[in-house]
Amino acid sequence: MVIHIDGLLSSAYGWNTINWEAAVGIVKRLQARIVKAVQAGDKRKVRGLQRLLRRSFAAQLLAVRRVTSNRGKRTPGVDGILFNTPAKKWQAAQQLNLKGCRSQPLKRLCIPKKNGSKRPLGIPTMHDRCVQALEKLVLEPAAETTADPCSCGFRCKRSAHDAIEACHNALRLKGSPRWILEADIKGCFDHINHQWMLKHIPAHKGRLRNWLKSGYLERNQFHPTEAGTPQGGIISPVLANMALDGMDALLKKHFKKAQKIHMVRYADDFIITGDTKAVLEHEVRPLIAEFLKERGLELSEEKTKITHIDKGFDFLGFTIRKYKGKLLTKPSKSSVASVKGKIKAIITAGKSTRTARLIDLLNPVIRGWGNYFRHSAAKHTFYRIDHAIWEMTWQWARRRHPNKSLYWIKEKYFRHERNRNWVFKEKNGMVALHKMGDIPVTRFIKIRQEANPYDPDWAEYFKDRARKALMRKLKTKRGRLWMRQHGICPMCRTELDNEEGWHIHHLLPKANGGTDTVDNLVLIHAACHRQIHSLYAINQLPDASRRLIKA
């Protein structure tokens, strides 16, 4: 039995025989049409195209694929159901647009914050997550087209580094503004007005109302939700961004260019620059407060303050400050203390851990923290952290062998490598601890403000930007594979982006004599990897292999 739905090949095997290339093509074409309609100001056409995309089976399949391929795929909601088999995924895709389905309450969890308090996290059921992912496919093209140029948080192809670079560009010159309003919204996700969102956000009103009013279960007790959008829902960041969009246009409308009012926003954290403290205090702050009040939000009195650039301010883990007229961006003291504390906790908990295992636990922390701060003046900080890590590992090694000499301990745990005598390695020397000081410090290239990843006119720009970003990863196996494949998954012929996990697949299995060399490897989506191996059971693997080899 073979059925053709929207050009997608399905069969009795369902999920494992989907033509993902066709599915992505259908969705991208409809999203591009939505962008053009929004740019033309044709609201009626926008609604029609959104309805068409919402009902498309291709979009429903991609929504389920995203939910079942991300990090939360093993976390169920209040119903305890997971979509962990191909049959369940196929069935879920067919049931996304059923009428009369109501959202179930969220499962409330609390995760600790740096300041000791707890952040509430609402986890929807798998079905509700899939419906939200479908609505996000529909809503995001319009949201990206109408978004504030200064907004960088929770947006496709943008990151915290874009926000930091925007701060650098606004403050680096001699004649740049000297005062900064550091703003913090009090409980942004928890207090956005539901009526405002239902009136102004162009989403499916019935579904949006169900999500907002679904309530949550905490310790088996139901609590209604009268305001806010839950942290943990797939569509929540898009809704929050759309609620805050418009601040930049409001500032440009009320202030002249000579007043040097610039705004940089990352989700609900933002800064506003100004030439004088009085303008920020008596004009900008009341204007922003009034803007937020319409949406049920308010500024935090404790965390909102005005700072001079010579004193510096912290933003997204960085400290931005002018030293004798020169602007420098460095890791903040709290960020340095945080990573040192995390490394110390790992080493303390691993007092009896094997050397190789301890190194495997430490390397991702060292590499991840260093890569986040590598686009700042962080080289001296990297060396200081390396020295602190050496002191911790030396103390760890001495504790394990209290009756051995220091020379014996040094020879056992620390090796000579190039011009270094204290490289922490396991006995056979195959696994070594990363040095944060080896991470090169480079300037980050900020994304162009008007760039839209859903607009076909910007396709070449984003492709070239992704290629340049991966050039620095050529030393890694994944980086070389990505460059070889031009950033395309050879199984589904779609982009290898950060929405889903990546797997390395052996063209010739190791059991059949395959090797780990680059010539025998391809980089593919996690979902595509599972699909390839499922083809063993229906004797279609040769076709898939030929397709990969041809790529």
DSSP string, 287-321: HHHHHHHTTT--B-TTT-EEEETTT-EEETTEEEE
Contact of 492 with 18, CB cutoff 8 Å? no
- Strand pairing class (106-112; 216-218): parallel
Query: Token pair for residue 93?
Result: 């895709």
What confidence score (pLDDT) does residue 473 get? 59
Query: Token pair for residue 59?
Result: 């979009």
Amino acid in the structure at residue 414: F
Helices (H), 147-263: 160-171, 188-191, 194-200, 205-212, 236-244, 247-254
Contact of 422 with 390, CB cutoff 8 Å? yes
Residue 242 CA to residue 229 CA, distance in Å, equals 12
What confidence score (pLDDT) does residue 499 get? 65
> Looking up tokens 């479908």, which residue turns up?
134
Report how far apart, in Å, the C-alpha atoms of 404 and of each of 210, 348, 407 are. 66, 20, 8
Going by C-alpha positions, the residue among 82, 135, 79 that lies closest to residue 107 is 79
Amino acid in the structure at residue 176: S
Helix, coil or strand: residue 424? strand
Residue 54 CA to residue 62 CA, distance in Å, equals 11
Residue 274 CA to residue 263 CA, distance in Å, equals 9
What confidence score (pLDDT) does residue 474 get? 56
Strand partners, 270: 183, 265
What is the CB-side half-sphere exposure of residue 467 using CA atoms within 13 A?
A: 11
- Kindly report the pTM of this predicted structure: 0.87
Which option is the CATH number for 473-550: 2.60.40, 1.10.3470, 1.10.30, 1.10.287? 1.10.30
Residue 222 CA to residue 129 CA, distance in Å, equals 20
> Looking up tokens 């399949």, which residue turns up?
61
Query: One digit per residue, pLDDT tens: the chain, 551 residues?
Result: 333 444 454 443 578 888 888 899 999 999 999 999 999 999 999 999 999 999 999 999 999 999 988 888 888 889 899 998 888 999 999 888 877 778 899 898 888 777 667 778 888 999 999 999 999 999 999 999 999 999 998 999 999 999 999 999 999 999 999 999 999 898 888 889 999 999 999 999 999 999 999 888 888 888 888 888 887 788 999 999 999 999 999 999 999 888 899 999 998 899 999 999 999 999 999 999 999 999 999 998 888 999 999 999 999 999 999 999 999 999 999 999 999 999 999 999 999 899 999 999 999 999 999 999 999 999 999 999 999 999 999 999 999 999 999 999 998 898 887 777 788 887 676 788 999 999 999 989 999 999 999 999 999 999 888 777 766 655 677 777 877 787 788 887 777 776 677 888 888 888 788 888 878 888 888 878 877 777 655 454 444 444 444 43
Maximum Cα interatomic distance, the chain, rounded to a whole number of Å: 80
What confidence score (pLDDT) does residue 472 get? 61
Secondary structure of 61-122 in the HEC alphabet? HHHHHHHCCCHHHHCCCCCCCCCCCHHHHHHHHHCCCCCCCCCCCEEEEEEECCCCCEEEEE
Q: Is 354 exposed, middle or buried (0-12, 13-18, 19+ CB in 10 A)?
A: exposed
Q: In which residue ranges of the chain is CATH 1.10.30 found?
A: 473-550
Query: Token pair for residue 145?
Result: 């087209």
Query: Token pair for residue 175?
Result: 């004649």
Residue 156 CA to residue 66 CA, distance in Å, equals 15
What sign has the CA pseudo-torsion 478, 481, 482, 483?
positive
Going by C-alpha positions, the residue among 236, 240, 244 that lies closest to residue 132 is 236
Helix, coil or strand: residue 106? strand
What confidence score (pLDDT) does residue 113 get? 74
Q: What are phi and psi of 508, to 5 degrees?
A: -105, 115
Residue 314 CA to residue 504 CA, distance in Å, equals 39
Amino acid in the structure at residue 274: G
Contact of 130 with 63, CB cutoff 8 Å? yes
Going by C-alpha positions, the residue among 329, 444, 434 that lies closest to residue 385 is 434
- Backbone torsion region of residue 187, taken as left when φ is above 0, otherwise alpha when ψ lies between -120 and 50, otherwise beta: left
Report how far apart, in Å, the C-alpha atoms of 161 and of each of 126, 443, 445 are. 32, 10, 9
What confidence score (pLDDT) does residue 546 get? 43
- Strand pairing class (502-506; 521-525): antiparallel
Q: What are phi and psi of 297, to 5 degrees?
A: -115, 165
| Close Cβ partners of 375 (under 8 Å, ≥ 6 residues apart) | 161, 164, 165, 441, 442, 443, 444
What confidence score (pLDDT) does residue 548 get? 47
Q: What is the DSSP letter of 449?
A: T
| 371: enclosing H helix or E strand | helix 355-373
Count the neighbouring beta carbons within 10 Å of the beta carbon of residue 25.
15
- Strand pairing class (2-5; 326-331): unpaired
Q: Is 364 exposed, middle or buried (0-12, 13-18, 19+ CB in 10 A)?
A: exposed
Contact of 29 with 40, CB cutoff 8 Å? no
Secondary structure tally for the chain: helices H, strands E: 21, 17
Residue 317 CA to residue 336 CA, distance in Å, equals 9
What is the CB-side half-sphere exposure of residue 321 using CA atoms within 13 A?
A: 15
Contact of 215 with 223, CB cutoff 8 Å? yes
